[in-house]
Structures are given as C-alpha cells and as structure tokens.
Structure 1
Amino acid sequence: MSSPYRATGGRRARRWAALLVRLRWWVIGFWAVVALASPFLPTLGESQGVGNLSGLLPKDTPAVTTELRSVDLFGFPLTGRTAVVQRDPHGLSVFDQARTVVNAVAVEKHQRPGLRRLRGALPLTNGLGAFPGSREEGTTALTYLLFDPTVSFSAQTRAARRYAAVSFGPRDSFVGVTGSVPARAAQGHIIHDSLPLVEALTLGAILLIVGAAFRSVVAPLLAAVTTGVAYLLTVHLSGELAQILGFATPSELEPVIVALLLGVVTDYVVFYLTALREQLESTADRLEAARSATARCTPIVAVAGLAVAAGTGALLVAQSLFFRALGPALVFTVLLGLLVAVTLVPAMLSVLGGWAFWPVRPRARRPAPRPETLRMRVLAALTHSRRAAGLTVAGCVAVLLVAALPLLRMDLGVSFVGSLPPDNGVRQAADAARAGFAPGILSPTTVLLEGKRLDRQRGRLRRLGQSLEQQPGVAGVLYPGSLPRRLERGVLTTRDGRAARLLVVLDHPALGATAINTVDHLDSRLPALLRDSGLSTATAGLAGDTATAAYIVDQTSGDLLRIALAALAANLLMLIIFLRAVVAAAYLLLGSLLSLGAALGLTTLVFGHLDPGAGLTFYVPFAGAVLLLAFGSDYNIFAVGNVWEVARTRPLSEAVALVMPGTITAILVAGLALAASFGLLAVVPLVPFRQLALVMLVGILLDVLVVRSLLLPAMLTVVGPASAWPSRLGGSPPADPAPGPAVGPETTSAAGR
C-alpha cells in the first residue's frame, strides 16, 4: 500500500520500537510490579500540610510580619478568622446579647473548661449602634475566637464548635461557626470527598470518548489500564518526592494532577492507536505494524510530552511560593505519564495487534479511493487558495480577539468562604453575619500601632478610627474607646500601653477583588491618616486575610511577566527544535495565545456576571495559561510534525491535503478527552475549581475546533513553504514502487480516522 510517509521514524526510533516489541511481555510485567508496589509509598494527600496559603508566603511578607508582631505584643492575632454567629431576623433579646458578652468574658477569665487553645474572645453585636455601618440593628451577634497561630485549621474549627456547644442553648439563635479558617477546613473536606467522583466521571468520559472514536470495546480499556498505572505511580511517587524534597503542596493540587494525568496520558494513547490502525491497514503482520507505529509515533509523543513538561515548568520561575510548589508536581506528573505512555502502550499494542480495535479489526487491503468526507470538503474550501485561507485566518483571529476583550477588566481575588456551596454550614453562617453587619465582617483587617503611652491617647486613636471609617469601602471600625475598657485591655490595647489595634471591617467580602483594592488604598493613605490624627510618631502596619490576599495578588501579578516569558520561551524552543522552523513555530504559538486569551476572556465575563466584585481566584488564570500553552504546543507538534514528514518529499499544499484531515480527527478525539478531564473539575463544588474547569474546557475546545481545525491549515496555506524557514520543504511526490490506484487522504492520514 502506498503511503505519503517517507519513513516510519528515524534510526533511533526504529531501534527503540524494535526493542519494545521484542521485550513486550517484560515491559508489561515491569509496570504491573511497579503499580502493585506503589501503594506502599505515601500518597500526595498524606504529604500535604494543612493547606494554608499563609504557609506559602515568605516570612518577610508585610502582612505576615505585622501579624507576627501583633502576636508577640498581645499573645494572639486579632484577625477574626474564626467566628461564632447568632442571628434572629426578628431581633435578639437584650438578654441574648448580654449572654454573648458574658460568654466572651468567661473565656478571658479561663472559665470555659476544654478550651485551653482559645486565647481570647471578642463579642460584637449590631444592637444599640454598637457597630457603625451595620445593615440591621439588634438582629445579630458575632464572637471572634482568637487562637495562637500555630493551632491547625481543623483544631480551631473543633474548638469553635465546642465553644458554641457550651455557651449557647437551643433558644440562643445560634447559626454556626464561620470564617476563613473554618472555610479552609471545609474546602479540604469537600476536595477529599469529591475526588473519587471526579476520578470516576473522568475515567468514564474517557472510556466513552475513546470507545466511540475507535468504535471499539478494547481501545478504551487499554486507555484505562495505561491511565490507571500512571495514576497509581503519580499519586504515590509524588507524595514520596514531596517528602524527599520537602516542598509544600497546596490542597488544590491533587484534583488538578488527576485531570492533567488522565487527559495527557489518554491523548498519547489516542495518538498510538491511530498510528497502529493506519499501519494495520498497510500490513497484516501484527508485530511489524506495532514496530512501525511505535517508531513513527514515539518521537512525536516524546517531544510533545516534553513540551508540556517544559511549559508547566515555567511556574518554577515565579516568586510566589504557591506556583513554585505547583510547578514541580505538574512537571513530575507529565514526565511520569509520558514514560508510562511511550513504554507500556507500545508493548500492549504489540501484544494485542488488531484486537485493540475489537469488534472492528483493521485489515490490510489494496489502496482505493475513499468518498470525500465533509471534513475534507471543508478543509479543501478553506485552503484551495491563499485568498480563501487568508479570509479564514482573519475570521478566526477576529473571533478570538473579541472573545478575549473581557481580559481588560479581569480582577484577581482569593476565595475562601465565598467559594463554598450555598448549602454549606460555614457559608450559611457567613451569610447570616454579613446580613446583620457588613459584607466584610468576616476576616477584618487589623491596623497595628506601636508607640509611647498609646493607652493615654484614646482621643487620637478615636480620631484615627473615625477617619478610617470615612474611607471608601470601609463599613466600620472597632477602635480603643468603642468598647468597654474591660474588653479592650489585652485585646485592643496592650497592658503596658505600647501598642494598640484597630479592627477595620470592609464593605465588600474580605477576600474579593474589590476588598483587596480597598486595602491597597488604605495602605497608601495610612501615613497621612496617622499624621492628621496626631499619631505621626507611631508606627503602623496592616494585617489580616485581606492584607495577605493583597500581597498574594500583587505578587501574582508581578509573576505574570516572568511566567509568561518562561512559558512562551519553553514552548517556542520546543517547537523550533522539533520543526527546525522559526516562522511556523512563531505563528503556531500565536494561535495558542489567541485561544488562551479567548478562554480567559470568556471565563472573566461569565464569573464577572455570576459574582460581581469577587474576581477570578488568583491562581486560576496563571495555572490555566501555563497548561493551555503547553497543550497547544502538544497538539502543534503532533499536527505539524505529521505534515512536515510528508512535506519533505511532497509540496506543502499536498501534504496538508493528505495529512490534515486524519490528523485533525485524532486531535479532536484527544482534545475532547482532555477537555472532559479538566471540565469535570467542575464537579468539585468550589468556585476556584469551576473557574479553572471553564478556562480549560473553553481553551481546549477553542484550540482543537478553531485553531487546529481552521486556523492552522489556513496559516500553512497562506505562508506556504516559507513556514519552514530557515529549513526548506517541498518537493516532487515520490514514485510508488508499484502501480496502483490513487490513495485518498483518509487512507494515507498519519492519524487515521
């Protein structure tokens, strides 16, 4: 059978293929033993800490430094990360509100047994104008529970529930425990509980997509075995690697690893299966078909996998500890999945042969023209002339640019309580607190002052508190003089008078983009406010979740250029090395950038309408950008690699017509599997996962349906042989060794159907 391919891989690729086929049973046995031994290693989840974002910040972060100083001076932070909420929309009685204060004083006097970890309690009611800026009056009471920062999230949440149990009865209108600490603990439980469902649904989607694409029962099982082995190894070896290298891994990591691993490995299984099917239609010899498919596919898969690893490795250049923790795990996941794919898949294919496609088994046959398909007609219409191809390029670019426009309004936030589902108890208690007070009542911002005899400057401290209340975005301030002296001493002022704290409650959810902008404004205005209040000799700093989030967002924005340049350089370098072409590499990368921008723009638009002012979770755009650029290079290498192989002996236009229809089909199948893997992250009922799921789903679909299917063939047609600069492509069709009927593009496709 005539084929457009000049060879089935280079000399090294053919040797590698021959070795794998010869040792096929040994390779399968090796991976079986390794997979069976992997459960004895620690899992990734066991290697993680509490998942606290503050643990992923440098110790010299201004907000962290101020909070630690506050702990040194007062013995505990005044951050309000854990709170107990009481609420009666019809009004709390005077006795209920008084009991709230009495319970807090009992903690101060150490009269609450079993609550040794609780360092203090700060009661707050919205009755009698006690808190300015409250939305209601007399309906809600809040008790901030103050802990030593070394107490874990789970321990703080348990202690808060014990406090509520011993302090309030069934008639005390107790709503629940809330705050950023209980929210983080709840997030961890939700992720842990959702992961099995994500894994099951993702595997089911992959089986369905691969089975439908190859009309086979065995092909999806082969994909399941390969991804299963890779998953076992990755989860356990990643945990071992994390312990050996000692890097912290955020709790958000494991679902992303699962999606990345299952999607990438499935892609490579699809590429090998399509190559084997094409070879089985050329020869009846099972082992020869496996050798040829492995020799031709392995170099492309290997370079594509390295491109994905290099792209995700761009996170390592970030200054943010969060991204530097995420980078090694993603790189390790891709490399391990690649290793399994390029060894286990060829070994299993050489054993199965045509049975991999059962009940439809490919058989060798004489080449014959095939009916022209819709895909071939569309491709021919787009590329029959440079004018038609140019219009296609212009149309695709215009659509992608319009979709990317909302990026101009993208804001970043850090989602804790707001990311929880509406029926979660922590979220419901937060909604109750916000309804009675203000949106930022949870996780207020602390202003720490240090100076001489501050306890004797209550008038000046009052003026500062009132000035802070006048700032845009501030709902209210607790300051020395706004509470009884007995509650203030040791909480708002130190006993020696050398330090004071003011609690600033914002008019927006404390970790949203709007609140972060407000804290940035307060930070810049604070020196002038101190001077106007007569406290110019005092030093001041901001602490709390919003101040920490502001630093994270600022650092993340600063990482944008570094990550972008590293990711672009890594992907461009891999394309240039593989294609030996600068021009093609440049416009291929540009296509990936366009689909990435469109995906981020559409995600910004959707979540901007769903939750105005919250912004995208800070890590979502950057993790999505790195992954989408890496996958774009993956598909670029597979698509253009096959075209390049044919174009070395045939004119480029003919190579596009021969190879692209089948190659696009393989990329569509692989892309759908990858999109399903990441899209199903939305099963985790947390906002950041749904944002990342939408970014990845839209980005991958735009990449395979618009960029690879339409823009890429059109660009190859418009630019022509100059795409290969500084190399050269194009020539005369090779003479067939024997006369025979013409070969249709569907028959000769590198990727099969």
Structure 2
Amino acid sequence: MGRSFASRVSHPRLKWVVLVFWLLLAAVSAPLAGALTDEQQNDVAAWLPSDAESTRALQLQTELGSDPDLIPAVVVYERSTGLTAEDTAAVEADVAAFGQLEALDGAVVGPLPAEDGQALQLIVPLNVGADGWEQIAPVVDDIRAEASDGPDGLAAYVTGPAGSAADSAEAFEGIDGTLLFAALGVVILILLFTYRSPVLWVLPIFSAVIALFVSQAVITLLARHADLTVNAQSASILTVLVVGAGTDYALLLVARYREELRLHTDRHEAMTEAVHRAGPAVLASGGTVVLGMLCLVVADMNSTAGLGPVAAIGVAVTLCVLMTLLPALLVICGRWVFWPVRPTFGSAEPSATGLWARVGARIAPRPRTTWVVTGALLLAACAGTLLLQPSGLTQAESFRGTPQSIEGDAVAARHFPAAAGNPVYVVTTADSAEEVAAATGATEGIASTRPPQVVGERALVEASLTDRFDSEAAYATIERLRAALDDAGDGAALVGGNTALNLDVQDASQRDNVVVIPLIMLVVLVVLGLLLRALVAPVILIATVVLSYGAALGLSALVFDWTLGVTATDSSFPLFVFVFLVALGIDYNIFLMTRVREEAVDHGTRRAALIGLAATGGVITSAGLVLAATFAVLGTLPLTFLTQLGIAVALGVLLDTIVVRSVLVTALTLDVGPRMWWPSRLARRPDEEVGAARDDVPVRSRSGASARS
C-alpha cells in the first residue's frame, strides 16, 4: 500500500478527521442497519432457481387462481386408544373456530378420519400475503392454542407447510442479535488471551461493530432501491463474516504495528510503516474474499446468488473501516493501549524465538518428509467425505431437536397414507388437460388426482403422492411424472409443488457446485499469481487449499455422525463450505507468503520461509481461532444446515491455520526453494540451504529490524 495513504490515516491531525467521519457514518447507519430485517425476502421465490420447472409452474399457478402465497396448515389429532365421541365434538368445534380465522383462504377440509380410528386430520388453507414466512408464526400459534384445548388425552399437532414455516420463522427469530452478541463474546475472550491486555481488544471490536452497522446499512439501501436479494440466511452469515474477517484483519495490522513500535520512537511513523507493509496483504486478502463471494452471482439458486453481493459488500466495507479507522484509533490511544506489555523502542521481538520459530526449526532439516507425512494425513482425513451425503435434508433433518411440525408430521405418517398439504401441481394447456390428468394418475407413486381446473387457455391438475413429500421415493415419482409427460408429447406441462421444488433445488445446487467452485479457484489463482508475481507458488498454494477443504469435509462428516446423528447435508453445503474455507482461508496463504516473499529479497527463499513463519505464525493462529470461533457460533442455532456450516468452517479454519499454512506450506517452500517464485527474477537467485534450529532468525530485515532488535 502506498506510503502516502499510510501516512494520512495515521497523521497527527487527520487521524481525528478519520475518527469523526466513521462515528458520523455509524450514527447515520444505525437506523438503516436495524431495518435490514424488514428488507429480507424469505418467500419461496427468493430462494429458488429462477428458471427451474417448479419455479415456472409456481408463477403460472397465480394465473389459474391457485395463489402461491397459500400455505396449508395440517392439524392432526391422535388418541392411541381410539377416538371418542367427545374427541370428535372437540375437533368439530375447532373446525368452526378455524373457519373464523382472518388468514383463512378457502374452506377448512375435514375432519378426515384415519382407517385405524386413532386420528383425525384437518387441512386449514392460510394466506397471510407475500411475507407469509414472517407472518405465519402468530397465526399457527393461535391454531395450536385452539387445537390443544381439547379433552385430556387427545394430542393435537399443527404441521404441514404452515407448521414448518412457523417453526422455521421462530428458529430465525432474534437470530441477528443472538449471533452478534455470541460472536462478539467469543472474539473478546480470544483477543483477551491473544493480547493479554484488558484494553486493546476494545479497538478491533469497536471497528468491527462499526463495519457491521455500515455494511448492513448499505445492504438495506440496495435491497430497497436496487432489488438486492437478502434473506435470513445471508443476513446471519453477514454478521459472522464481518465480525470474524474484521477481527482477522485487525490482528494482522496490530501485530505489524506492535512490531514497528519496537523500531520507531514515534508511533505515527510506526503506524505508517505498519500500514505500508501489512496493507497490501490485507487488501489482497480482502479483495480475494470479495471476488470469491461475487463468483456466487452465477449460481442458479437465488439464495446462493444473493449471498454473493451481501457478503462482498460486508467484506469491502470491513476493509475500508479496518484500514482507516483502526489505525487512527491505535495512534490516538498511543502505546499505553498495549498495557501491561507495552512495545518499547529497541525492545526484542518475541516472535523471533517464539513457538513458530521453534516449529520452523524442526521442519527445516527434513522439509520433504514433513510435507509428505502431513499431506498423507490430510488425504486420510479426506476419506471421511465418503460418509457425507449432500443430497438434501428431509424436513425432520432440517431442525435440530423436534419442533411440533416434525412431531405432527410423524404422527400423520403413522395414520394416513401420505402427508397432506403437499400436493403435486401440474400446469398445462386447456386442450391437453384431460390427457395430462390421465398420464399423471397413471404414474407410479401418484395416489390420486383431482379433476383439472381450467382457466382460459391453461389448466391445473392437482395430485397426491403415496410417499412422504420429502422422501427419495417422492423425488423419483416427480422424475417419472416429468418423463411420462414428455413421452406423451405434453412438453408444455410443468410439474410443481413442494416435492418438485425440493428436487429442483437439489439439481440447481449440484450444478452450482460444479460451476462456481472451479470459478472461485480460478479467481484465487489469478489473484495469487498477481500478488506473488509467480506461477509455481499459486499452483502449490491452491493445491494445499483443495487438500485442506477435502480434509475439513471429511472430518466434518465424522463430527456430524457422532454429534448430530445425521450425515446428510443440504445440497449447497459443499459450495458454501468451499466459499468460506477458500475465500477466507486464502487470507492465511497471503499473510504468510507475502511476508516470505518480502524477506526472500534479502535472505533467500528458504531462510525467508522460517522468518515468515516466525513472524506470522502467531497472528495467523490467533486469526484462525477468531474466525473458527465466530463460525462455531452458528452451531448454537436450531437449524441443521447452519450448524453443519459452522462446524465445518470452524474445523477447516483450525486445520488451515495450525497444520496447512504453518506446517505444510512452510515445508513445501523449504523443499521447493527459489523455484516457488518462477518465472520471476527471484526464482533465479542463489539460495542458501537452511540448517537446523536457528535462534538468530530475524523477524524483519528490510528496515534493519534485526540489527536494532
């Protein structure tokens, strides 16, 4: 980063201007940040692939009078010893009460008796508008309260799409505040341990919170005026990402500033040098994350494509805050903020003989053996991916614990042939309605069909499944039905409904995995090539990233099996884990290798590898702990996908920082030597062999650090 910019953010007078600017911007941003929840789009269309067959069918249903905002609630009553006349009367009273609901759209269907005489079922069609996902919970709560007020021994459950939507909404309720405070809590603890200062942690946390407010405000404005799609999932990930990445960047800058304070009497000069030296690595790291996140816009899934800009904006704003506000705060506070261990001019740099310097000394005599053994262990960990099943989660598997909608679904499955409230919809032309209805009814897995509803030139055929709507058997039925309609020449027929939607989500997610993952790898490869001015080093680093990713997935699958009792994952899980591990994990590659390249100019590549490890090992480990802890906070949520994502990213980051970056990459750099920088001039410089332990390895040399330390 240019010295002119570095000198401005730490200027004795301009530092106050920087502080006032961000404080004013934060004050303006706070109300907008609080309004982000109101801008979230959690309806079906905001998540689905826009060109999928089921999505197009959903859009056409409106023209046929089938409102896509209709959410059926399925109320199931059960008495295991058999229903009584009193039970039947209570259910009839509920039918009358539900008929008065303001959100009712149509007539209550039922009560429908089970063949075993132990259960009754009602279908209550509800419509609370386009924001049904947010508004359905209180309506379902009212239905549950009414249904539960029956004779003793009669159990009542509200399930179906409405029950599931209500339980999901309640799981996300207050999630932003919970995540923010939980993430800040674990980060504060780690910063207290890292800095061993009761004061210093305040500055990175304050900067990260400012970055979060400003980024949320920007996203709110874009959601209002530029059609940016934001949902509960992307808003939750934004909180974790900004706090985690912001603290990571702060750790790197503070570490370099503390190093420079030992080399300069004036703290403003020290900060200028720190921003000048660390700035390029921080900007390259953040820029890589931004570009990696933006690759998501090519995804078919609207929810995945929407996450890209949201996350990119969050990281870009965080970069701006951390590279301007944090330096200003640090020089305003002065050296006392490091109390009780203040870095004084001329004092020794502890990392020169610290833990990672000793680790480097152990690696140096046998680098090839080190990277071969480490690589083999990581490959062994990759074998765990054989347990992973990224074919989608069932409704029951989507929740940790058992909310009432899942209990009710299980009860309904015991007493009724298939779950109600999740029919298959086939949209076709009026001329072919009867043929389509006949072909649908003749398809294996279809229990029954209703007469076609014809409106103008289009018709709607509604059918019931014989299997659970979220089962593999139901998905196979949808595939058979689509094939049968194609074979019958009814190519204009579109198969929709929740089962078809889930199937199309799986297909779109698998396509996104194949397309987006290689694109992100290409972007990262190009950035590394430009930053390191080499071809060999980027290829090697990308290979270590992929190996780290595979090992993280493998270990995560084992953890899921042991702790959650489920090895199935959402179809988008591999892509999300890759995005966060690679886009964020590449930070540690950049932190380490830019320092190694800087030192290689004066010391040669092999010695520079040890210097770089000694200088950055501590801060990379601390940054990894922070990022792992913030993502692990997702594991506290009651939703399986976010829990799995938090566990996988936390494991992957720890693996990346402690093993891959610090051991594997260092060993490879020592083994490959100057050829790492091919085809740059640095690759042609003679390089000394690195021997065993060296207690005199300097931490800095280009400004004379070792001489003055």
TM-score normalised by length of structure 2:
0.87
Corresponding residue of 2:532: 579
Name whichever of 720-729 and 416-425 sits farther off.
416-425
Given candidates 369, 392, 399, the residue that maps to 1:413 is 392
Distance 1:112 1:366, change over 3 A: closer
Corresponding residue of 2:696: 744
Corresponding residue of 2:447: 477
Preserved CA contact (<8 Å) 2:290 2:312: yes
Given candidates 685, 698, 704, the residue that maps to 2:657 is 704
Distance 1:597 1:516, change over 3 A: farther
Given candidates 572, 581, 584, the residue that maps to 1:619 is 572
Name whichever of 274-283 and 80-89 sits farther off.
80-89
* Cα offset, 1:359, TM superposition: 1.3
Corresponding residue of 1:397: 375
Corresponding residue of 1:691: 644
Separation of aligned partners in 2, 1:579 and 1:78: 53
* Cα offset, 1:101, TM superposition: 7.9
- Secondary structure, aligned partner of 1:729: helix
**Is residue 315 of structure 1 aligned with residue 296 of structure 2?**
yes
Separation of aligned partners in 2, 1:42 and 1:399: 45
* Cα offset, 1:721, TM superposition: 0.5
Given candidates 610, 617, 620, the residue that maps to 1:667 is 620
Corresponding residue of 1:503: 464
Residue pairs, 1:77-156, within 5 angstroms: 81-93=72-84, 96=87, 112-115=99-102, 117-123=104-110, 125=112, 127-128=114-115, 137-147=116-126, 150=129, 152-156=132-136
Read off the aligned partner of 1:82 and give its amino acid letter.
A
Corresponding residue of 1:262: 243
Read off the aligned partner of 2:593 and give its amino acid letter.
V
Q: What are the ranges of 5 or more consecutive residues in structure 1 without an aligned counterpart?
A: 1-11, 129-136, 470-475, 481-488, 735-741
Given candidates 410, 427, 452, the residue that maps to 1:431 is 410
**Deviations, residues 643-671 of structure 1 (Å, cap 9, x unaligned):** 10010121211111222123111100011
**Deviations, residues 188-229 of structure 1 (Å, cap 9, x unaligned):** 332232332322221121112122112112221111111121
Separation of aligned partners in 2, 1:603 and 1:749: 41
Read off the aligned partner of 2:371 and give its amino acid letter.
V
Corresponding residue of 2:335: 354
Separation of aligned partners in 2, 1:155 and 1:47: 12
* Cα offset, 1:466, TM superposition: 7.3
* Cα offset, 1:94, TM superposition: 6.5
Read off the aligned partner of 1:383 and give its amino acid letter.
A
Given candidates 544, 548, 553, the residue that maps to 1:595 is 548
**Is residue 180 of structure 1 aligned with residue 161 of structure 2?**
yes
Corresponding residue of 1:36: 27
Read off the aligned partner of 2:551 and give its amino acid letter.
A
Corresponding residue of 2:634: 681
Preserved CA contact (<8 Å) 1:448 1:502: no
Name whichever of 249-258 and 407-416 sits farther off.
407-416
- Secondary structure, aligned partner of 2:345: coil
Separation of aligned partners in 1, 2:390 and 2:107: 36
* Cα offset, 1:179, TM superposition: 2.4
Distance 1:425 1:285, change over 3 A: same
Corresponding residue of 1:21: 10
* Cα offset, 1:239, TM superposition: 0.8
**Deviations, residues 214-261 of structure 1 (Å, cap 9, x unaligned):** 211222111111112112112222211221211221211122001100
Read off the aligned partner of 1:301 and give its amino acid letter.
V
Preserved CA contact (<8 Å) 1:581 1:723: yes
Corresponding residue of 2:476: 518
Distance 1:161 1:361, change over 3 A: closer
* Cα offset, 1:48, TM superposition: 2.7
Q: What are the ranges of 5 or more consecutive residues in structure 2 without an aligned counterpart?
A: 689-693
* Cα offset, 1:442, TM superposition: 6.0
Separation of aligned partners in 2, 1:429 and 1:325: 33
Separation of aligned partners in 2, 1:639 and 1:625: 21
Corresponding residue of 1:639: 592
> How many residues are treated as equivalent by the alignment?
693
- Secondary structure, aligned partner of 1:362: coil
Separation of aligned partners in 2, 1:572 and 1:603: 26
**Deviations, residues 354-396 of structure 1 (Å, cap 9, x unaligned):** 2231111111236699995554333222222xxx322222222
Distance 1:367 1:520, change over 3 A: same
* Cα offset, 1:523, TM superposition: 3.5
**Deviations, residues 544-600 of structure 1 (Å, cap 9, x unaligned):** 212101111111211223211221121111111110011001111111111112222
Read off the aligned partner of 2:216 and give its amino acid letter.
V
- Secondary structure, aligned partner of 1:252: helix
Separation of aligned partners in 2, 1:59 and 1:203: 36
Distance 1:61 1:541, change over 3 A: same
Distance 1:593 1:454, change over 3 A: closer
Separation of aligned partners in 2, 1:575 and 1:294: 20
Read off the aligned partner of 2:649 and give its amino acid letter.
M
Structure number, greater radius of gyration: 1
Distance 1:278 1:64, change over 3 A: closer
Residue pairs, 1:179-328, within 5 angstroms: 179-328=160-309
Separation of aligned partners in 2, 1:281 and 1:99: 80
Preserved CA contact (<8 Å) 1:48 1:251: no
Corresponding residue of 1:4: none
**Deviations, residues 709-750 of structure 1 (Å, cap 9, x unaligned):** 11100110121101001113276899xxxxxxx983375499
Separation of aligned partners in 2, 1:523 and 1:223: 57
Separation of aligned partners in 1, 2:677 and 2:432: 75
- Secondary structure, aligned partner of 1:86: strand
**Is residue 656 of structure 1 aligned with residue 609 of structure 2?**
yes
TM-score normalised by length of structure 1:
0.82
Aligned-pair identity in percent equals 25
Distance 1:69 1:644, change over 3 A: closer
Name whichever of 621-630 and 371-380 sits farther off.
371-380
Separation of aligned partners in 2, 1:433 and 1:28: 60
Preserved CA contact (<8 Å) 1:77 1:148: no
Read off the aligned partner of 1:123 and give its amino acid letter.
G
Distance 1:101 1:557, change over 3 A: farther
Separation of aligned partners in 2, 1:380 and 1:299: 28
Separation of aligned partners in 2, 1:302 and 1:328: 18
Distance 1:171 1:664, change over 3 A: same
* Cα offset, 1:452, TM superposition: 7.0
Read off the aligned partner of 1:113 and give its amino acid letter.
Q
Separation of aligned partners in 1, 2:173 and 2:628: 22
- Secondary structure, aligned partner of 1:248: coil
Preserved CA contact (<8 Å) 1:79 1:545: no
* Cα offset, 1:700, TM superposition: 0.5
Read off the aligned partner of 2:359 and give its amino acid letter.
V
**Is residue 333 of structure 1 aligned with residue 314 of structure 2?**
yes
Preserved CA contact (<8 Å) 1:43 1:240: no
Name whichever of 584-593 and 540-549 sits farther off.
540-549
- Secondary structure, aligned partner of 1:309: helix
* Cα offset, 1:71, TM superposition: 5.4
Separation of aligned partners in 2, 1:644 and 1:112: 73
* Cα offset, 1:517, TM superposition: 4.3
Read off the aligned partner of 1:35 and give its amino acid letter.
A
Preserved CA contact (<8 Å) 1:445 1:505: no
Distance 1:547 1:95, change over 3 A: farther
Distance 1:273 1:82, change over 3 A: same
Read off the aligned partner of 1:704 and give its amino acid letter.
T
Distance 1:336 1:124, change over 3 A: same
